[in-house]
Amino acid sequence: MVRYISSRNVNDAVSSHEAVIRGLAKDGGLYTPEKLDFQIDPKDLIGLSYKDTAAVILSALMDDYSREEILSCTAGAYDEKFDVTEIVPVTKTERGWLMELWHGPTSAFKDIALTILPRLLTAAYQKENRDDKVAILTATSGDTGKAALSGFADVDHTAITVFYPEIGVSAIQKRQMATSKGNNVEVIAVRGNFDDCQRMVKEAVSDPEVLAACQGVTISSANSINAGRLIPQVVYYYSSYVKLVENGTIQCGDEVNFVVPTGNFGDILAGYIAKQIGLPVKRLICASNTNNVLTDFINTGVYSLDRKFHTTMSPSMDILISSNLERLLFMVSGNNDTLVAGMMKDLKEKGCYKVPDNMMQKIRETFTGYWTSEEECAAVIKDMFEKENILIDTHTAVGQAAMYKYQDETKDTAPCIVLSTASAYKFGHDVLKCITGKDIADDFEAMDTLEQVTGKPVPRQLKELRDLPVRFTRVIDIEEGMHAIAARMQEIANG
């Protein structure tokens, strides 16, 4: 069985379904596969649907779930909720490929994992014959929130609360969350940034006031700190590789590069896991916006928060504390929990940590980092549309720009697959401005104009937002966080 162990205490070892229920380990560590000593050959996945590919990979990485449980989860997740039967299509661009991850119910890549996470959680509860409630606490930089609200709406035994930065998400993202349906959902804006929201959610699991209010309620998370979020993301690295084999671009065994617009490091870490279990990945290119803490880290081996926080037009990547990097450090250190716990303590107390050279060497064998300014990002969006008639969002543009830099610098000719992480219409105001120079204040008007200009259809669920009633308007200060969470736990406990 693949055991999941805390990155801060290897003696805290659980099965994958327990890791899904718990979210974060008690010591604040992240549950990470103890060892990956098996291989999945992409050759065996040729011709399979997305759903069946997912079943093979999840069965291997979450092998305490039965075959039937996994099949029921994948069948329930990857269906007509997605507007293409392929689920994750791959399209050719001039210099590479785009992996389109935004065809799900909320038009961002988070849907791929958050359509299945509630099912994995429900199955885990049934396995344990539990009937207590799970409170899902989620911090979002914009996209996780809506995808989690949509995935967990009215799911038995669960209640979900989402915290998002009041300033820093796009107007459409805010509207998506504020109009969420379901009797078990709550959305709260925080006067702070994403890092503040994430810290609140992480601290809640050990906060005395919160714990006292949690009688009969287990706190879990829908963030990529939850292994049940991370593992389903491994699937599309495989499925897109297999598509390139199927269309004759590569032969099985050839190496490819993946370019990943990165914030919390969850998406790219899933690519690293894919590589560990046998996908021929040459390099993982970590693309950042002006919040380039990861680029600096990969280049210097020092992770430092001593920098300005920027609000950019790719808000889902406006993050300084990339949580999942902790899992990578744990893996490349050979599961050295003491070392990792020490670094995380340094980060909390001193605002920085330094990674030993031998570990950095290992990281650099696979990872390269590039960052992109707002101007470069805007130029890429305009160019892609004008020269290739392809409409990309602001996050995908950061990835696309990183691919150009990588190819120009290294002359590497291996195929590059850029992860296209959101629909352009989630960030329509900025995308329209990049393409036409027009600055339209009303976001729905900008959406319509962008549709007219490009001829690319707006996803139905985004168009509909205009007419949905706003249900959530609450805003709190960071200091109120624990109190607000405790009150919510009390409410959930009381049914």
Ligand X SMILES: *Cc1c(COP(=O)(O)O)cnc(C)c1O
Please give the residue ranges that form the binding site for ligand X (CB under 6 A): 108-110, 143, 224, 261-267, 316-317, 395, 421-422
Alpha carbons 320 and 305: distance in angstroms, whole number = 7
Shortest reach from residue 229's CB to ligand X, in Å = 9
Closer residue to ligand X, CB minimum distance, 428 or 488: 428
Which structure tokens are listed for 135?
């409170």
- Name the residue among 225, 229, 234, 281 with its Cα closest to residue 57: 234
C-beta of 429 vs 488, nearer to ligand X: 429
Q: DSSP assignment, residue 488?
A: H
Of 108 and 277, which CB lies nearer to ligand X in the complex structure? 108
Considering the complex, state which of residue 13 and residue 305 has its C-beta at the smaller distance from ligand X. 305
Q: Please name the amino acid found at residue 344.
A: M
| Cβ proximity to ligand X, 30 vs 317, nearer residue | 317
First vs last C-alpha separation in the chain: 36
Determine the angle formed by the axes of helices 337-350 and 325-332, rounding to 10 degrees: 140
CB of 462 to ligand X, least distance (A): 14
H helical segments located in 205-265: 208-213, 227-230, 235-246
Shortest distance, position 215 Cβ to ligand X, whole Å: 33
Helix H or strand E encompassing 287? strand 281-288
CB of 194 to ligand X, least distance (A): 10
As a whole number of angstroms, the distance between CA 136 and CA 396 comes to 28
| Block residue for tokens 């919510």 | 488
Nearer to ligand X, 143 or 376 (CB): 143
Residue positions counted in the chain: 495
In angstroms, what is the minimal distance from the CB of 230 to ligand X? 9
Query: Between 100 and 143, whose beta carbon lies closer to ligand X?
Result: 143
Q: Closest distance between ligand X and the C-beta of residue 293, in Å?
A: 12
Q: Taking a C-beta distance cutoff of 8 angstroms, is the pair 423, 107 a contact?
A: yes
CA dist 352 and 341 (Å) reads 13
- Our CB check for ligand X shows the closer of 224 and 276 to be 224
User: Is the sign of the CA dihedral 249, 250, 256, 260 positive or negative?
Assistant: positive
State the minimum distance, in angstroms, from the CB of residue 173 to ligand X.
Answer: 9
Residue 246 CA from chain centroid, whole number = 27
Count of C-beta atoms within a 10 Å radius of residue 440: 17
CA 403 to chain CA centroid, Å, is 20
Least spacing, CB of residue 148 vs ligand X, in Å: 12
CA 237 to chain centre: 14
Q: Which residues contact 365 (CB under 8 A, 6 or more apart)?
A: none
We find the least distance from the C-beta atom of residue 425 to ligand X, in angstroms, to be 12
Q: Compare residues 33 and 399 and give the one whose CB is closer to ligand X.
A: 399
